[in-house]
Amino acid sequence: MKILGIDPGIGTVGFGVIESDGRKNQYVACGVITTPANTPLSPRLDMIYTDLNELIVTFAPDAIAIEELFFSKNITTGISVAHGRGVILLSAYRSGVPVFEYTPMQVKQSVVGYGGAKKHQVIYMVQRLLDMKQPPRPDDAADALALAICHARSATSLIAKSQGSKGEDPCSTI
């Protein structure tokens, strides 16, 4: 199964692609979609939509894992990220690829084993789990790979398998 992980944003959208056979996860690619800071919102959203569509066509994923939003302090930034996330969800929906959503805590728990893990711990474990020579960079790309690993692990769990042909993922909000 090929999984595209997406760390949503407006200035930087992280993406990571892995291949999973249910036992081992293999790194395929990672990077970021960036939009210029002084550009109005609508053109930035169009850039994200266009680039994400291209990623979906290029990598032909079987599933897309995207991070749910978590607002803590800056609500204005959160709203912009929510706009970007909406465009990402639209692109994924129109592509026909199933979308699965995970909280930051679920991702950290899956990758590190502790839902309160720090960013450097997640990056280290992503590097180890995907047998990468260097830590994935930038951080948004590492987060996207962590999302893909999280989905690979939940998709092959006994709970997910017990769902049978329902096609539901117990960690998904959809």
Q: Mean pLDDT score of the chain, rounded to an integer?
A: 88
Say whether pTM exceeds 0.75. Answer: yes
Convert the pLDDT of each residue in 10-51 to its tens digit. 999 999 999 999 889 999 999 999 999 999 999 999 999 999
What pLDDT is stored for residue 170 in this prediction? Answer: 46
Per DSSP, the residues of 44-58 read HHHHHHHHHHHHHHH
Note if the bond before 61 is cis, omega within 30 degrees: no
Per-residue pLDDT at 115 exceeds 80: yes
Q: How far apart are CA 112 and CA 36, in angstroms?
A: 33
Residue 104's CB is within 10 A of a number of other CB atoms, namely 19
β strands within 2-71, DSSP E: 2-7, 12-20, 25-34, 63-67
> What positions carry a catalytic annotation?
7, 67, 140
Residue type, 6: I
Query: Is a pLDDT exceeding 50 seen at residue 172?
Result: no
Segment 51-96, tens digit of pLDDT: 999 999 999 999 999 999 765 565 666 788 889 999 999 999 999 9
d(CA 43, CA 15): 20
